[in-house]
Structure 1
Amino acid sequence: MSASYIFGIVAALIVLAVVIESLRRHHLRERHAIWWLAAGIVALVIGVFPDVLGWAASLVGVTVPTNLVFFLSIAVLFLVSIQHSGELTELESETRTLAESVALQDLRIKELEKALADALESRRNP
């Protein structure tokens, strides 16, 4: 086994360890970790069984197995980007709703303060 395969195995194990530790410490949510865990597991399988990459490349008709790795990497990053874009849109909508609610609450508070001040003023000046 060459040094590049050992490097690949070690890198995949590090990725898996970082993702699992981030999950454990609640720095990363489960739905975000799925793609990174999948990528780490695939990298580990390819590092341990390098012939799998050649088999998968020939199965899908890719001449150079490394090109399949690049394509899958880009696909995973694209899916993560789509997932984050959807969540960002959802958070922006929620932020807008909360800002509107706060503005309405501020308006109500100002109206109540004005009504209270008017009521106190009318009691002082009968």
Structure 2
Amino acid sequence: MSPTSYLLGVAAAVITFVVVVELLRRRRLRERHAVWWLLAALLALIAGLFPDLLIWATSVVGVVLPTNLVFFVSIAVLFLVCIQHSAELTDLESETRVLAERTALLELRLSGLESAQATKDSEG
């Protein structure tokens, strides 16, 4: 890989890191979501600053091209992000269902009380 591509990787990692920190600071991103993005930025920064480390890692893992290892790790991180979001979505769906059931029960109770009050008012 050319030095320009390593510099591009370093710049992208630094920009990602700055964006994630800014989103955390503005409370637009929660810490548990930021972990994976900070991990990805850190790995990209390490690969850009120490390209020989990436080449060494490809030889250890048995991958032919360093870019293939980068793509694999990137896909793995995105896969973990998807799993985390799916788990949180499941929790939110369950919580929404419980809240809808509670609301329906409260509305039923309220209509029962209103009809009992209307009956009491018409009698008296």
> Percent identical across equivalent pairs?
60
Map residues 1-126 of structure 1 onto 2, 5 A cutoff: 2-123=3-124
- Alignment partners' CA distance in 2, 1:39 and 1:75: 10
Amino acid in the other structure paired with 1:19: V
2 CA distance for matches of 1:6 and 1:72? 19
- Could you list the per-position Cα deviations for residues 17-61 of structure 1 after superposition, in whole angstroms to 9, with x for gaps in the alignment? 000100110110000010000000010011111111011111111
Query: Following the alignment from structure 1 to structure 2, what is the Cα–Cα distance between the partners of residues 73 and 42?
Result: 9
Q: CA RMSD in A?
A: 1.0
Name stretches of at least 5 consecutive residues in structure 2 with no aligned partner: none
Runs of 4+ aligned structure 1 residues displaced above 6 Å come to none
Give the distance between the partners of 2:58 and 2:88, measured in 1 at CA.
33
Secondary structure in 2 aligned to 1:26?
coil
Give the length in aligned residue pairs.
Answer: 123
Matched AA of 1:34: V
Distance 1:76 1:36 in 2: 8
Separation in 1, partners of 2:65, 2:54: 10
Instruction: Return the letter of the residue paired with 1:7.
Output: L
TM-score (norm 2): 0.96
Matched residues in 2 for 1:60 and 1:43: separation? 18
